[in-house]
Chain A
Amino acid sequence: MIKKLLIYIGLLVGLLFLFALKNFMLQTHYIQKAKDAIQKREYIKAIDYYERVVLAYLPLVGYSDEAIGAIRDMCPKLSIPDEKLYCYETLRVAARQVESFYKPYQKEVELATREIIEIKSREFGKNSKTLKAIKTQETHTWNTHTLWGFMVPLSLLTWVGSTLAWIWRREKKFILVSVAGYALWLVSLYLA
C-alpha cells in the first residue's frame, strides 16, 4: 500500500517537474525576446514579453523577478498616458495570475493599483462620486478565502477517497474520515 502510494507521489512529482521544465523553457525564450524588443525600442512588445516570463512563474528562478522588475521600472518612463496605463495594468494582471498561498508580487500589485487609480482619476475623475467609483472598480477582488478555498477541493478529495476506501476495505475508520471530510467540505464551501 505504502509502496503504491509512493509510486503515485513520485508520478505527481515527475509531472510537476515536467511542468516546471516547460515553464523554464518559456521563460528563457521570452526573456530574450523582451530584451531584443527593448533594443528595438518596441516597449509595448517588451512589456508583453516580460509579462509572459512572469506568467511562466517559477519560484527561486530569477527570471520572474527580473521580468516583473523590468516592467515595474519601465512604467514610470512611459510618457503617453495610455501606454503608461497599459504597463501598470499588465504589471498588476501578471502579478495576480501567479499568486498561490504565497503572493510573490504583492508590492507590485499595490503599486500598480495606486498608479492605475491615479491615471484614471486624472483622465475621467470628474467629481468625488466618480473618484470613489474608480477606486471601487480597481480595488474590487473576486478570489475566495485562501485557506478555505484550498480546503474545499481537499476535503472533497478526502470524503470521496475515504468513501471509496470504505467500500473497498470495509474498515470503520474510513467511515469516520468520510463523514468528517464531508462535514469539512460543507463548512469550507460556505467559508471560502
Chain B
Amino acid sequence: MHNFLILSIFTFISSVYVAFQFPVFSTGDGGELAVASYTLGIAHPPGYPLYLQAIKLFSYIPIGNIPERMILASVLFSVLSLALLYRIVLLMVKDRMAALFSVLFLAFAYSYLGQSVVLKFYPLNLLIVASVLYLSLLIIYRGLDSRYVYAGAFLLGLSFANHHTGPFMLVPFYILVLTYGLKGFRHSLLSIPFLILGFSAHLYLFIRSMKENVFVFTDKIKSLSDFVFLFFRRGYEASSLGAVKVGIAPGEGFIYALKNLAILLEKNFTWAWLVFLILGFGLLLRWKSYRVILLFITYIFMYGIFLANITLGKPQPTFKDWYVIGHQYYLPLFLIVAVFPGLVLGTLYHKLRELNTQMLQYVLPFIAIIFPVVPLMERVYQQNFSKNYVPYSHVKATLMGMPYTGLYFAQGDNVNFQIWYLRTTFGFRRDVCSIEYIYQKNAKRIGIYFRGCKPVKAYKDIEENFVKGNFTAMAKEDKLYVTFTIDEILFLQKDRFETMPYLLYSKIFPKPLQTKNLENWKVNQVYNQKYMSLPEEDCTYHNSDDFYTLELCNFVAYNYRILADIYASYRGLMSTYTEDKSSPLLNYSGAQIGNLKVQEALKKFFLVGLLNDRAKAFYYPKYDD
C-alpha cells in the first residue's frame, strides 16, 4: 500500500512538471543554453560544462523538439532531488508518511516548481547538493565511512562544473567530517584527489575550444588565464571572488538578507516554514543530535544567509531581484526547509501511534497530503508554461518584420538568446544580422558581439554598406533596427539618426525625418502585423507570471499602442506626426548620446575590429567563423 502511494505521488508530481514545462525553449537563458549544449559549446561564465553535457544526452530523445527534450532533464533532476529529500527524512524519522509530506511540501512550492520546468542548471545543482547532504547525514547516522567522504568530495568536484553555488556545500560537508577528529582529517585529505577528479570535468572547456564550429559565449579557452577569467566570471561587473567578499562582509546587509530571506520563504511555503523550522530544531535539540544541528546550521548559513548577503542584502529588492535571484538561487535552502515539516509530522505521528488514537493516525496523513497540494491550484496561473510559446513567436515575428539583410542591434539576454537559437543555430532568416551591443555605463565597458550574425563573412559579402560602415545608407533603405531597451548607440550620432518604434523593436531613421520615411514606416508597421498575430495570442494565453515572458509581452502591448496611433492618424484624430511632437508615440527616442571622440573611436573599432585605447572597450568583436 505504501509503495503504491509513493509511486502515485511521484507519478503525479512528474506529470505536473511535464505538463507545465515550456513547449520549446524557455525565456531568459533558455535559448542560449540550448544552443551551447546543441553545439557542445561554452555558455555564459562560468561555462556550465557539466550541465551542457547532461542536457545534450536528452536532446537525442526522439520525441518533441530539441530544447523541449532538454527541459525534460530539469524535470528528471527535480524529481530525483525530491526522491533524495524523501530518503533524507526517512533516514531521520523512519516514517514514510512524514517523508512524503516533506516531498509534497517542496514539490509545488513556487520556485521549486518554476525551476523544474525551464531550461536551467539549478535542478542539476540541487541534485548534487542534495546528494552530498544525504551523504553527510549517512555519516552522522551510520558512522564515518571513507566511502561517504570520497563520494561527497567527488560530487562536489563535479559541482564546480555546474553552478557556483554547488561548491558552497564544501563548508558544511567538511566541517562535519572534521568533527570526527583525526580520522575525519585523514579522510578529508584523502578525498582531495576525488575532488580534483570531479573538477576535471572542466577539461571540456579546453577541448571544445579547439573546435571551430561551436557556440562560444565569450572567448575560447586556450590558456589557464582564459580559464580563470571564465571560471571566476571576471567579465561581469561583479566577479565571483568579489561576490564572496560581499557575502562575508559584516554590516547591515545581513539584516536585510535575513528579512528578504524570510519574505522569500513565506512566498514559497507560507509562514508554516517558520513554525516547522522552530519545532524541528527543538526536536533535534531534544534528541541531542548536535552534529545534525551543526550540519543544518552551516548549510543554512551558506545557502541562506551568506548567499542572501551577496544577492539580496539590500533594503528594497526590485521585482527583477526577486524573480531573477530569489526565484533561482535558493533551491538548496528550500530543500532543507522542507526537511523540517517531515521531522515534525513524523514525531507527531509516532506519538499518536503510542497513544493509539486510530482516527488521527488515518486522518493526519490525509491532511498531510492535501495541505501541500493546495498551492498547486495557484501555480496553474503562475508557473504553468505548457502553452508558453512567447519567446519562440517573439523571435519569429522580430526576424520576419525586417527586410532582407536588415541589421539589428539587440541588447539584453532575453532578446539575444532567442535569436542565437533560431537564427544562428537553426537558420531562420540568416540574411538578417543581429548584433549584440553591450554598454555598461558604470564600468565604462562596451561590447559588440556577432553571435547573432554568423556566418559574419557571408553577411559582409551581401551587405556592402555594412562593410563600409555606411549606416546612413542602411537607415535610408530601412535596414537599421534596434531593441527598445537600448538607449545608447555611441557610434550612431544623435544629430544624424532618430528612432521610431516598430513592431517589437525600433527602426532607425536618418535625420531629418521625411514624410516619405513616416509613410513607409506606417505601411510596414501595418503590413507586418500578419506576423504579429501569434505573439499577440501567445501573450494573451500564456498563463504564467514569468518576468521574462512579461518583458517580451510588453513589446507586444506597445505594438498595439503604435498601431492604434497609426489608425488614429489615418482617421484624422491626430494632425501629422511631424507636427505633433508631444505625441507619446514620437516622444520615444533612442537618445543616442556620448561624446564625439568615443563615437569615432567606436566606429573604427566596430569596423576594423581594432581596440582603440580611448574607447576602453572590454570585449573584442568576433569574426572567428
Q: How far is the CA of A56 from the CA of B426 in the complex (A)?
A: 17
Chain B residues 221-254 with CB under 8 Å of chain A are none
Query: How far does the alpha carbon of A98 sit from the alpha carbon of B23 in the complex, in Å?
Result: 12
In the complex, A129→B426 CA distance in Å?
24
Residues of A within 8 A of B208 (CB): 189
Interface pair A102/B19, CB less than 8 Å apart:
no
CB neighbours of A69 from chain B (8 A):
none
Task: Tell me which residues across on chain A come within 8 A of B584, comparing CB atoms.
Answer: none
**In chain A, what residue has the closest Cβ to B400?**
A86
The answer to whether A97 has its CB under 8 Å from any CB of chain B is yes
Pairwise interchain contact B57-A55, C-beta atoms closer than 8 A: no
Q: Are A190 and B207 in contact (CB under 8 A)?
A: yes
**Complex contact A55–B14 (CB within 8 A):** no
- On chain B, the residues within 8 Å of A120 by CB distance are 404, 431
- Distance in Å from the Cβ of B386 to the closest Cβ of chain A? 8
Residue-by-residue, is A160-178 near B (CB-CB < 8 Å gives 1, otherwise 0)? 1001100110000000000
Residue A93 contacts which of B194, B389, B428 (CB distance < 8 angstroms)? Answer: B428
Complex interface: chain A residues within 8 A of B211 (CB): 190, 192
CB < 8 Å: which of A57, A96, A149, A186 contacts B63? A57
Q: Is A44 within 8 A of B150, CB to CB?
A: no
Interface residues of B in 136-162 (CB under 8 A from A): 147, 150-151, 154, 158
With contacts A14-B11, A15-B75 taken as known, whether A142 is within 8 angstroms of B18 at the C-beta atoms is: no
Considering the complex, which residues of chain A in the window 98-133 have a beta carbon less than 8 Å from any beta carbon of chain B? 98-102, 120, 123-124, 129-130, 132-133
With A44-B531, A133-B462, A149-B56 already in contact, the answer to whether A19 and B427 are too (CB < 8 A) is no
A4 within 8 A of B: no
Considering only residues 32-84 of chain A, those with a C-beta below 8 Å from chain B are 42, 44-45, 48, 52, 55-59, 82-83
Q: Is B517 an interface residue (CB 8 A)?
A: no
Q: Is B115 an interface residue (CB 8 A)?
A: no
A189 near B207 with CB under 8 A, answer yes
B199 to chain A, nearest CB (A): 12
The residue of chain B having its C-beta at the shortest distance from the C-beta of A83 within the complex is: B530
Q: A44-B533, A98-B65 are in contact. Are A92 and B427 (CB under 8 A)?
A: yes
B76–A192 CB distance below 8 A: no
Within 8 Å CB of B361, what residues of A? none
A55 contacts B61, C-beta separation under 8 Å: no
Interface residues on B, range: 35 or more
Q: Is A18 an interface residue (CB 8 A)?
A: yes
Distance in angstroms between the alpha carbons of A20 and B64 in the assembled complex: 8
Q: Is A56 a contact of B64 with CB atoms below 8 Å?
A: yes
Q: Pick the contact of A143: B38, B54, B151, B459 (CB < 8 A).
A: B38
Q: With A55-B68, A150-B60, A167-B147 in contact, do A42 and B533 touch (Cβ < 8 Å)? A: yes
**CB atoms of B459 and A124 under 8 A apart:** no
In addition to A167-B150, A189-B203, 17 A-B residue pairs with Cβ atoms within 8 Å of each other are A19-B61, A57-B65, A58-B63, A89-B427, A89-B429, A90-B396, A99-B66, A130-B461, A134-B462, A136-B458, A137-B431, A142-B35, A150-B60, A152-B56, A164-B151, A167-B194, A189-B204
Specify the chain A residue showing the minimal Cβ separation from B527. Answer: A82
B459 touches A133 (CB 8 A): yes
Cα of A99 to Cα of B10 in the assembled complex, Å: 30
> Residues on A close to B: CB < 8 A?
11-12, 14-16, 18-20, 22-23, 26, 42, 44-45, 48, 52, 55-59, 82-83, 86, 89-90, 92-93, 96-102, 120, 123-124, 129-130, 132-134, 136-138, 140-144, 149-150, 152-154, 156-157, 160, 163-164, 167-168, 186, 189-190, 192
Q: Give the chain B neighbours of A160 by CB distance below 8 A.
A: 158
Flag if B426 contacts A97 (CB, 8 Å). Answer: yes
- B461 & A163 in contact (Cβ 8 Å cutoff): no
Contacts of A92 in B (CB 8 A): 426-428
B458 touches A133 (CB 8 A): yes
Question: If the complex has contacts A15-B18, A186-B207, are A97 and B66 also in contact, measured as CB distance less than 8 A?
Answer: yes
Contact at B63–A59, with CB atoms within 8 Å? Answer: yes
- Identity of the chain A residue whose Cβ is nearest the Cβ of B19 in the assembled complex: A22
Q: Is the CB of A19 within 8 A of B64?
A: yes
* Given A124-B404, A133-B461, A138-B427, A22:B39 Cβ within 8 A: no
Nearest CB in chain A to that of B213: its residue: A142
Interface string of B367-406 (1 = CB under 8 A from A): 0000000000000000000100100010010001000110
Establish whether residues B65 and A97, one from each chain, have CB atoms under 8 Å apart when the complex forms: yes
* A-B pairs with lowest CB-CB distance, top 5: A153-B57, A133-B461, A133-B458, A189-B207, A137-B458
B389 neighbours in A (Cβ, 8 Å)? 52
Q: Which residues of B contact A15 (CB under 8 A)?
A: 14, 18, 72, 75-76, 79
Q: Are A134 and B431 in contact (CB under 8 A)?
A: yes
Question: Given the complex, which residues of A lie within 8 Å of B396, measured CB to CB?
Answer: 48, 90
Q: Say yes or no: B15 contacts A18, CB within 8 Å.
A: yes
Q: Which residue on B lies nearest to A150, using beta carbons?
A: B60
- Complex contact B458–A167 (CB within 8 A): no
> Which residue of the partner chain, among A14, A59, A101, contacts B14 with CB atoms under 8 Å?
A14
Residue B455 interfacial (CB < 8 Å) = yes
Q: Is B483 an interface residue (CB 8 A)?
A: no
Bound Cα distance A145, B61 (Å): 16
Complex alpha-carbon distance, A52 and B393, angstroms: 10
B5 CB, nearest partner CB in chain A, Å = 16
- Write the chain A residue with the least CB distance to B200: A182
By a CB distance below 8 angstroms, the chain A residues around B210 are 190
Question: Is residue B24 contacting chain A, with contact meaning CB distance below 8 A?
Answer: yes
Q: Are A140 and B455 in contact (CB under 8 A)?
A: yes
A45 to chain B, nearest CB (A): 6
Distance between Cα atoms of A20 and B19 in the complex (Å): 10
B424 at the interface (CB under 8 A from A): yes
B197 interface residue per 8 A CB criterion:
yes
Determine if B40 and A189 form an interchain contact, defined as CB atoms under 8 angstroms apart. yes
B534 contacts chain A at the CB level, 8 A cutoff: yes
| Chain B nearest CB, measured from A84 CB (Å) | 12
**Chain B residue nearest to A146 in the complex (CB):** B60
Q: Is the CB of B534 within 8 A of A45?
A: yes
A150 to chain B, nearest CB (A): 6
Q: Does B96 contact A (CB under 8 A)?
A: no
Contact of B147 among A18, A152, A168 (CB under 8 A): A168
Complex interface: chain B residues within 8 A of A168 (CB): 147, 151
Contacts of B207 in A (CB 8 A): 186, 189-190
The residues of B that contact A55 with a CB separation of less than 8 Å are 23-24, 64-65, 68
- B454 interface residue (CB < 8 Å to A): yes
A129 to B207, CA, bound (A): 35
- The reply to whether the CB of B62 lies closer than 8 angstroms to some CB of chain A is yes
B-chain residues with CB within 8 Å of residue A143 when the two chains form the complex:
38-39
Assuming the contacts A26-B23, A133-B461, asked whether A19 and B430 have C-beta atoms less than 8 A apart, the reply is: no
Using Cβ atoms and an 8 Å threshold, which residues of chain B touch A123?
A: 404
CB distance from A121 to the nearest CB of B (A): 11
